[in-house]
Amino acid sequence: MGLRLKTALVLVALAIVTLLLALLVGLWAVENIRSHFGEGFARNHTLLTQQRILAVIGRDLALSQRLAESPLLQEWLVDEGDSEKQARWAREVAQFSQGFTDRSYFVTSALTGNYYFGDADSDGQPVLRYTLDADNPADAWFFATLASVEDYAINVNPDAELQVTNIWLNVIVTDAQGAAIGIAGTGFNLSQFLQRFVAATEPGVTTVLIDHNGAIMAHPNPDLIEYAAITREQADQTLLQWLDNPRSVQTFLDLQQQAQADPLQAPLARVDLNGREQLAALSYLPELDWFVVTHIDLTAHQIVSRNLLVGAGVAGGGLIILLLLTTTLGVDRLVLAPLARLTHSVQRIADGNYQTRLRSKRRDEIGQLHQAVDTMAEQIRQHTSTLEQRVAERTHALAEAHDQIAQAHRQLTDSIDYAGLIQHSLLPDRALAEQFPGEYFVLWLPRDTVGGDFYCYRSTDQGHVVGLVDCAGHGVAGAIMTMIAHAALDMALDQVPADDPAALLTRTDDLIRAMLPDAQRHQQLAMSMDMGLCYLNPQQRTLVFAGAHINLFWSDGHTSHEITGQRRGLNERRRGRYTNTDLVVPPEGSVYLLSDGLLDQSGGAQGYGFGKARFNEWMRTHAAQPLSAQQAALRQALADYQGNQPQRDDITVLGFRPYPL
C-alpha cells in the first residue's frame, strides 16, 4: 500500500471521525436547543393561556358577581311573585346580558327552585325554563353549590333542558342578612371554550385545565372532562391518573404548590406521562382556583425545523468533504508527489545505478532531503570500489580461517570420538556377558559422545559385584571423572572384601580423596560422584546393597520397592557413612540401578521430570518380562515421554535378575 493511498485513507478516516463527532455534537446541541426552547415555549404558552382565560372568564366572573349583588335581584328573589319587582330587575339584567361573552345569564331561586335563563334569543329577558328538583341528579349541582360554596364556583356541566354543555360561573346571591337565596351567573359554550383555549394547535403540545384536586375541567378531548365536579367528592377524571410513577406524582404536586404560591410564574419539570417523558408547566388561576397545565412531548414537538437541521447537516457535510479534497490535493502536491519521485530515484540507487542524480529547486525540508540523498549516493559511489576491494581481501582471509577452524574441529571431533571408544572399552560388557549368572540389560545413553556415567562388574570366587557410578558433570569433564572413579573402584576391590559393598564405598571414597588432594581448595568445582554397589551370592541366592546417593529399585512384576542409599555421595565435603542392606530377590524379580539422568529427564505436556512414580509404574508393568524386552520397553517409554525435549544429562540404567530361573 503506497503512501498516497495511506494518506488518502487517513484523511478519509479523519473526515469520517470528524463527521461522527460533528453529528454527536449536533445531536447534543439539538437536544439542548430542543430542551431550552421547549422549556421556554411551555412556560410562555402556559402563562399566555392563563392570561387569555383570565381576560375572558375574569371579566364575566366580575359581571356575574355584580349581577348577584344587584339589590333589585335580591328584592325580587325574596318576593318572586311581585311582577313590579321582576320588571325592574328585568330591565336591569337586560343591560347586564350585553356584557357577558356568551350574551347569556341565568338566575336560580333557592326559595322556589325556579331556573331563569336569558340570552340573545330572548332579548336579554329572563325566561323561566324549569324548576329544580332535589331528587333529580341533573340538578344536584345547584344544591351542592348552595351547601358547600360561600362566594362562587365554576362547574362544567351539561344542561339537558337547555341542550347545552357549558362552563358555568355560579355566584351565590344572598339577602341583607347574608342568607343564600339563589344563584346567578353565566356560562361559556364548552366546545367554543375548548377550541379557543385548549385545542391542540401543534403536535406534541397539550393544554389542560384542572382544579385544585386535579380534576380535569377542560381538555382537547371532551370525553376526559370531569363534568359536574362540584357534585362529587372523588373525581373520576384526574390528570394525576395519567402519571406513571409516584415520583412523577410528587413532582406534579410540587409544581402545583409552586404555581399556587406565585401565580405570575409557570414552574416546570419533567414527568412520566402516558408512558413517555414529557415537559410539564403549570400556572395558577386564583380567580377560578384552576391550574393551566401544558405538557409537551419533546420528541414529537417540532421545536427546531427539520428542514433547517437537514440543511445544516448537508452544508456541514459538504464543507467537510470540500476541506478533505482541498487537503488531499495540497498534501499530494506539496509532499506526496515529491516523495514519490524521490522514492523512485532512491530505488534506482538501491538497484546499483549510482550515477543517478537528484535535482530539486525547493528550499524546504523536501529540497534538503533531495540534497541529502544526492550526497549519500555520491558517497556510496566512492565507498563502493574501496569496499569491494576490502570484501575480496576479507573473503580470502575468512576462507583461510574457515579452513583452519574446520581442521581444528575435525581434530577435536576425532579426539572426542577416540575418547568415547576408550571409555566404552572400559565398560565390562564382555565380562557381564560371559560371567553374570542371571539376565541383565544396560541402557547407557551419554548426553555427549563421552559422559560421566559408567557401570561396573567383577566376578569373585564366592559371588559377583555389580554397580553403577554417576560422576559430576558430563562430556569430557565427566569422562575424566569416570577414569578416576574406575581406577579408585578397581583398587578398592583389590583391598576390601567384595561381599561388603559399604566397605567398598568407604574405601573408594578414601582413594578418590587421595587422588584429588586439592578438592577442598576447589569447592566451586563439582568433583563428587554417586555410586551404588550390589554383591550377589548365587549359592545363598542373596543380594547385599550399599548406595552413595544412588537407590536400588526392584519389583516382582506386581509390586515395586525401593532401597534408599546414603544421602551423601563420594568425595563430598562431608564424608558419608555407608551401610549394607540384605535383600532376598524372588526368582522372577528384577533389580535396577539407575543414574539421576533418567529421573530428571524433562518431557510430557508440562515439561516435568520422568520421576520415580513413573519409573515405579513402569516396573510394575514390565518387571516380569524378559530383560531384553524390558530394555526395549524402557527405551520406548523414555523416548515417548521425552518427545522433543533435549537430553539434560547422561542416562544409565542397569537392570538384572540376579539368579537364573
- Per residue in 402-418, pLDDT (tens digit) is 888 888 778 777 777 88
Mean pLDDT confidence for 69-85: 88
| pLDDT of 533 above 70 | yes
| pLDDT of 40 above 70 | yes
Mean pLDDT confidence for 595-622: 94
pLDDT level of residue 521 (50, 70, 90 thresholds): very low
Long-range residue pairs from 52-57, CB within 8 A, at least 24 positions apart, any chain: 52/196, 52/197, 53/197, 53/209, 53/285, 53/288, 53/290, 53/292, 54/285, 54/287, 56/101, 56/188, 57/154, 57/167, 57/169, 57/188, 57/285, 57/287, 57/288
**How far is Cα 452 from Cα 649, in angstroms, rounded to an integer?**
9
The 10s digit of each residue's pLDDT in 199-254 is 766 777 888 888 878 888 788 888 878 776 666 667 777 888 888 888 988 898 89
The string of DSSP codes covering 335-382 is IIHHHHHHHHHHHHHHTT-TT--------SHHHHHHHHHHHHHHHHHH
Given a contact cutoff of 8 angstroms between Cβ atoms, the answer to whether 237 and 225 are in contact is: yes
Whole-number average pLDDT of the chain: 84
**How far is Cα 509 from Cα 384, in angstroms, rounded to an integer?**
68
| pLDDT of 71 above 80 | yes
pLDDT value for 503: 96
First to last CA, the chain: 80
Q: Enumerate the domain spans of the chain.
A: 9-59+201-296, 62-192, 429-657
pLDDT value for 166: 79
Mean pLDDT confidence for 124-135: 88
| pLDDT of 334 above 80 | no
CATH number of 9-59+201-296: 3.30.450.20
Given a contact cutoff of 8 angstroms between Cβ atoms, the answer to whether 513 and 590 are in contact is: no
Mean pLDDT confidence for 13-23: 79
Mean pLDDT confidence for 29-42: 73
pLDDT value for 632: 96
Cα pseudo-dihedral 86, 88, 90, 95, rounded to 10: -160
295 beta partners: 206, 280
Instruction: Name the residue with higher pLDDT: 305 or 146.
Output: 146
CATH fold of 429-657 reads Phosphatase 2c; domain 1 (3.60.40)
Instruction: Name the residue with higher pLDDT: 118 or 632.
Output: 632
The 10s digit of each residue's pLDDT in 367-415 is 777 677 777 777 777 777 787 788 888 888 888 888 888 887 787 777 7
Mean pLDDT confidence for 264-279: 87
pLDDT level of residue 4 (50, 70, 90 thresholds): low
Mean pLDDT confidence for 313-318: 75
The architecture of the domain spanning 62-192 is 2-Layer Sandwich (3.30)
pLDDT value for 579: 96
pLDDT value for 535: 97
pLDDT level of residue 305 (50, 70, 90 thresholds): low
DSSP assigned state of 289: T
pLDDT value for 627: 94
pTM over 0.75: no
**Given its phi and psi angles, is residue 208 left (phi above 0), alpha (psi -120 to 50 degrees) or beta?**
beta
Q: In what order do the strands lie in the sheet with 180-189?
A: 127-131, 114-118, 105-109, 180-189, 164-174, 152-159
pLDDT level of residue 358 (50, 70, 90 thresholds): low
The 10s digit of each residue's pLDDT in 499-511 is 999 999 999 999 9
Percent of the chain whose pLDDT exceeds 70: 90
Given a contact cutoff of 8 angstroms between Cβ atoms, the answer to whether 275 and 244 are in contact is: yes
The 10s digit of each residue's pLDDT in 643-660 is 999 999 999 999 999 887
pLDDT value for 200: 64
pLDDT value for 661: 65
**How far is Cα 208 from Cα 369, in angstroms, rounded to an integer?**
77
CB contact burial 426-446 (16+ within 10 A = b; e otherwise)? ebbeeebeeebbbbbbbbbbb
Record the cell numbers describing residue 332, joined without a space.
Answer: 499530494
Residue 116 neighbours by CB distance under 10 Å: 23
Instruction: Name the residue with higher pLDDT: 98 or 626.
Output: 626
Q: What H or E segment, with its residue span, contains residue 441?
A: strand 439-445
CB contact burial 65-102 (16+ within 10 A = b; e otherwise)? bebbebebbbbbbbebeeeebbebbbeebbebbeebbb
Same CATH topology for 62-192 and 429-657: the answer is no
